[in-house]
């Protein structure tokens, strides 16, 4: 599909990528909450938690949403998406990746940007238990990469999966790590590192033979964390192998359902690889929209609903 001309206009203050990113992540309040938490037993003996909310009227339409690195189902961007869809006739299921719902998971492994087996387990469970006829998938940042990899790496998808949206998605994990390491992103990397190291210290108590406190303390970058834990805990020889095999860029040409990739031009987490114009132009299904502004998941408007929410609803509705 040709690259889409974006209609998003940022309020003047939020044309600054950092202000938009930080405000959306830390100061936004969304009047929405889930109605039910459900624990899903995974096929490998582990678990993850699903947060559900429902349309006022009975529906056979469901959105499944995936959060970003060190996130969870209660992040403002997840709540905002749940609010707009439940108000427009959809049920909403927000995945909490392993260890992201307030309780450490059972296995040494946790989650990563390419763990599509967890999404597959969720989909198998939802389709087995419920009677949904139309399912839309939405992913943010790391969750967006996971979503796009899932769509492109499989020859066949369940027929109920009709459409997908990925927001602020790093399509080349290694390149985005280098971007995050730039001085302008120090505030974000410091926060990610602290959150991830806190989780690793908790994991070390559960798996003292696998991890040493000194190893965790010595990690001074996201790369070091991925070398120590993320890659090896999930079967990769190194962080570079993890980035190479899990980056969604290589899977985009194989996507076979209508899919919107919404990435802001001024997103400081992203590099040119996350704006795959040639792939979109040669694809019948990948729609690439590149607003000039928006930062990282910070598409703020003069109203409570953010642009990514209105755009996701519009795109999904138009492609059913």
The whole-number pLDDT of residue 51 equals: 98
Per-residue model confidence as pLDDT tens digits over 70-80: 999 999 999 99
The model's pTM is: 0.97
Residue 54, pLDDT score: 98
165 phi and psi angles, rounded to 5 deg: -140, 130
Contact present, 229 and 200 (Cβ < 8 Å) = yes
Q: For the chain, what is the largest distance between any 2 Cα atoms, rounded to a whole number of angstroms?
A: 54
Q: Which two tokens stand for residue 183?
A: 């001085």
Residue 75 sits at the vertex; the CA angle it makes with 125 and 230, to the nearest 5 degrees, is 70
What the chain holds in terms of domains, given with CATH numbers, is 12-173+251-318 (3.40.50.1820)
* Whole-number pLDDT of residue 2: 83
Residues 167-208 have pLDDT tens digits of: 999 999 999 999 999 999 999 999 999 999 999 999 999 999
Which residues fall within 8 angstroms of residue 10, CB to CB, at 6 or more apart? 20, 291, 292, 293, 294, 299, 300
Distance between CA atoms of residues 78 and 75, nearest Å:
5
Q: How is the chain classified by DSSP, letter by letter?
A: -PPBPP-----GGGGSHHHHHHHHHHT-------SEEEEEEPTTS-EEEEEEE--SS--SEEEEEE--TT--TTSHHHHHHHHHHHTTT-EEEEEEPTT-SSS--SSS----TT-HHHHHHHHHHHHHH---SEEEEEEETHHHHHHHHHHHH-S---TTEEEEEEES--SSHHHHHHHHTSGGGHHHHHHHHHHHHHHHHHHHHH-TTT--HHHHHH--SHHHHIIIIIHHHTT-SSHHHHHHHH-GGGGGGG--S-EEEE--TT-TT--GGG--HHHHHT-SSEEEE--S--TTT----SSSS-HHHHHHHHHHHHT-
Contact present, 93 and 82 (Cβ < 8 Å): no
Distance CA 94, CA 64 (A): 6
Alpha-carbon distance of 313 to 320, in angstroms, equals 11
Which residue shows structure tokens 């790391």? 142
What pLDDT score does 114 carry?
Answer: 98
Our CA angle for 36, 103, 142, nearest 5°, is 80
CA 164 to the chain's CA centroid: 12
Rounded to an integer, what distance in angstroms lies between the CA atom of residue 94 and that of residue 30? 15
Intervals of the chain under pLDDT 70: none
4-46: pLDDT as tens digits = 999 999 999 999 999 999 999 999 999 999 999 999 999 999 9
Residue 141: phi and psi, rounded to 5, are: 55, -120
């Amino acid at each position: 599909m040709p690259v889409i001309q974006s209609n998003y206009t940022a309020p003047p203050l939020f044309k600054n990528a950092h202000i938009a990113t930080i405000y959306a992540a830390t100061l936004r309040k969304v009047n929405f909450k889930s109605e039910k938490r459900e624990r899903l037993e995974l096929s490998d003996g582990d678990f993850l938690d699903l947060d559900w909310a429902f349309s006022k009227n009975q529906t056979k339409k469901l959105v499944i949403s995936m959060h970003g690195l060190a996130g969870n189902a209660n992040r403002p961007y997840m709540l905002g998406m749940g609010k707009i869809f439940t108000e427009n006739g959809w049920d909403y299921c927000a995945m909490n990746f392993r260890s992201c719902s307030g309780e450490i998971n059972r296995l040494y492994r946790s989650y990563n940007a390419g763990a599509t087996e967890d999404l597959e387990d969720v989909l198998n469970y939802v389709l087995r238990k419920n009677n949904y006829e139309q399912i839309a998938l939405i992913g943010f940042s790391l969750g967006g990469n996971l979503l796009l990899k899932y769509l492109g790496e499989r020859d066949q998808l369940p027929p109920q999966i009709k459409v997908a949206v990925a927001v602020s998605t790093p399509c080349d994990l290694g390149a985005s790590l280098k971007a995050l390491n730039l001085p302008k992103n120090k505030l974000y990397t410091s926060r990610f590192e602290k959150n991830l190291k806190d989780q690793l210290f908790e994991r070390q108590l559960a798996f003292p033979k696998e991890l040493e406190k000194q190893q965790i303390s010595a990690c001074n970058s996201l790369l070091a964390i991925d070398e120590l834990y993320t890659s090896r805990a999930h079967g990769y020889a190194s962080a570079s192998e993890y980035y190479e095999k899990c980056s969604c860029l290589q899977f985009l040409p194989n996507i076979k359902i209508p899919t919107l990739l919404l990435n802001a031009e001024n997103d400081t987490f992203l590099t040119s690889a996350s704006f795959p114009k040639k792939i979109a132009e040669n694809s019948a299904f990948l729609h690439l929209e590149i607003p000039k502004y928006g930062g990282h998941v910070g598409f703020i408007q003069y109203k409570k609903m953010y642009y990514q929410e209105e755009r996701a609803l519009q795109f999904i509705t138009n492609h059913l």
